[in-house]
Amino acid sequence: MTTTRTQVAIVGAGPAGLLLSVLLQREGIDSVVIETRTRDEIEATVRAGVLEQNTVDLLKEAGLGDRLVREGAVHHGIHLRFDRRTRRIDLSALTGGRSITLYAQHEVIKDLVAARVRSGQPIAFGVRDVHLRDLETEAPTVRYRAAEGNEATIACDFVAGCDGYHGVSRTSIPARSRVEHSRAYPFGWFGILVEAPLASEELIYARHDRGFALVSTRSPSLQRLYFQCEPGDSVEAWPDARVWDELHTRLETDDGWTFREGRITQKNIVAMRSFVCETMRHGRLFLAGDAAHIVPPTGAKGLNLAVADVRLLSAAIAAHYATGDDAGLDRYAAEALARVWRCEHFSWWMTSMLHRFPGEDSFHRHLQLSQLDYLTRSKAAATALAENYVGLPWDWTNDNSRGGLQ
């Protein structure tokens, strides 16, 4: 068995773990990253990437903005479509110029992996049999079997659990010590990646009596479209002709708008759930990203919450090593959870307003349409949506920044 000594052991090479490693390295803090998947697997996992203004700014500050600026698509608004009408929410006008950027999550991961490799610090792919030990002591360890088959141990000061909901980090916290909340939604998203011309300059969120639909983009020639489906649906049940019929129906309008079909290169079904593990710290273990929380994709918050977590965690760890001040570590969970619950609510609200629920009656339908109509008529309501969508300021979670209504 080989033993490696480092300051921070990072379990998981998703956006949370990789960005944490980059932020720590900028502070002169050593880390080791381990990941159960291969590099090819994590770089090829296609997921949506709507980046908040905060996320874009932080990636640029961390030296990760070159390709993002060159290839990302900046959007200043979104479209809400209902009752065969389309109304635009001007995000930038309502939030003092803030915007979102579409840049796929796997592209973010490619940039982060490249930065990690350039730093020369260790990253181990394809590991298995990961175990976290001695978390309630000042000398925690991470044991695993490397891709080559040999057993290895990381001795460290802190463990960052960034390995997602199905990883070992969260479940390494004793069940009696974990406080968790979850909600499953009675539908999923059927997604396609299609080679076709740009269907819309900005995202279209559509509410239809048959269910939700979303028009997104990846590039001028590659589009991403989703529609609500049954949670137990299968890709095989949706041949191309059926997919196109459903999308045309749900996206129809009275203004002549349409989109061109193309060659579908990928089909997948996205599960819909909300989850929060409020125990984001256990001894020297700190959870971040999907290991601690999951949001339905309607609010576009998953990646952005991971970034917010590791921004807090990296600053707290840096303060520990620089001055011995552990106040940031002690308040990490509470401060992170303030943003987590805000984003959970926003994502739930967007989901509830736009999707068709089983057994939905005319009363519920009219409530949804009234809410959507109000959003497009009221500046105050539109502003609330806009400021949550582009991302609340970093200092929003600080108690002294929320003085309440005067």
* Active-site residue (options: 75, 208, 320, 355): 75
- Known catalytic residue: 165? no
Supply the DSSP string of 184-222, one letter for each residue. E-S-EEEEEEEE---S-SS-EEE--TT--EEEEEEETTE
Is residue 208 within 8 A of residue 227, CB to CB? The reply is no
Residues in contact with 348: Cβ distance below 8 Å, sequence separation at least 6, in sequence order: 183, 274, 296, 299
Catalytic residue among 103, 185, 205, 226: 205
Question: What is Dmax (Cα atoms) for the chain?
Answer: 68
φ, ψ of residue 372 to 5 degrees: the values are -65, -40
- Nearest to residue 300, comparing CAs of 94, 96, 87, 75? 75
Residue 389 annotated as catalytic: yes
Catalytic-labelled residue, pool 79, 208, 301, 355: 301
- For the question of residue 301 being annotated catalytic, the response is yes
Please say whether the beta carbons of 83 and 33 come within 8 A.
no
Task: State the Cα angle at 313 between 274 and 11, rounded to 5°.
Answer: 70
Contact between 346 and 301 (Cβ < 8 Å): yes
Q: Is 345 a catalytic residue?
A: no
Q: Which of 79, 208, 297, 332 is catalytic?
A: 297
Cα(151)–Cα(247) distance, rounded to whole angstroms? 50
In the residue annotation, 205 being an active-site residue is answered as yes
Catalytic residue among 144, 226, 332, 389: 389
Active-site residue set: 75, 205, 297, 301, 389
